[in-house]
Structure 1
Amino acid sequence: MTGKHTWAIPEGYIPEESTGPEPEMESHETVCVLNTTDEDATIELTCYFTDREPVGPYELTVPAERTRHFRFNELEDPEPIPKGEDFASVIESDVPVVCQHTRLDSRQAENALLTTMAHPGE
């Protein structure tokens, strides 16, 4: 089986500004989730902040044997993730999954894209 039930992304920041066409070049944070099991993955994502209570869980689904990319900018329920504020996130799944973090910072014409594996829990 590939993956873990819990993942952490300690780095999170959605820039307030973007350049270029939207939605492709809008500054964003993304968690990419790979589900190699034969069951749909029910995901709960919680965000943590420097100076306020956590927000979540955001309820997400990744179908069996599929991948989904979730932009933090597009999370709405229970509330939108604020732009211009540091945050971290924990992803919990009912089946083992693999998570990766990606950021596109397009505040200037010379865009920056970074990606890293999330930290797997036990």
Structure 2
Amino acid sequence: SHETACLLNASDEDAEVRITLYFSDREPVGPYRLTVPARRTRHVRFNELEDPVRVPRGTDYASVIESSVPIVVQHTRLDSRQAENALLSTVAFPAG
């Protein structure tokens, strides 16, 4: 199983992206910082995020993704815990 954020930067400037994770039973972690070059896409697997801390496995969380320029975020979750895999994908929306 894994969760991925597909980040699309269609602008002419590099996007400086910050990801913060929120939990039901602990304080938020982050920001995880990364760059999406201008006119490019970047796929980020949440279980590969390590700095400032590894994303805990088996724990529910939500994410807030902020960027220095407008980007499009598609969040995908693949659940392979059973023989019948399940795939869910959704497009995020601006919160501010």
TM-score, structure 2 as length reference: 0.96
- For residues 107-118 of structure 1, what are the structure 2 equivalents within 5 Å? 107-118=81-92
Does 1:89 pair with 2:59? Answer: no
Does 1:52 pair with 2:26? Answer: yes
The amino acid that maps onto 1:101 is H
Query: Greater RCO between the two (CA within 8 Å, min separation 6)?
Result: 1
Unaligned runs of 5+ in 2: none
Identity fraction in percent: 72
Partner of 1:72: 46
Please give the secondary structure, in 2, of the residue aligned with 1:100. strand
Which contiguous aligned blocks of 4+ residues in structure 1 show a shift greater than 2 angstroms?
Answer: none
The amino acid that maps onto 1:31 is A
Does 1:40 pair with 2:14? Answer: yes
The whole-number CA distance in structure 2 between the counterparts of 1:120 and 1:100 is 12
Q: After superposition, give the CA deviation of every residue in 1:71-91 in whole Å (9 maximum; x if it has no partner).
A: 000000001111111101101
TM-score, structure 1 as length reference: 0.76
Unaligned runs of 5+ in 1: 1-26
CA positional deviation for 1:108: 1.6
Partner of 1:19: none
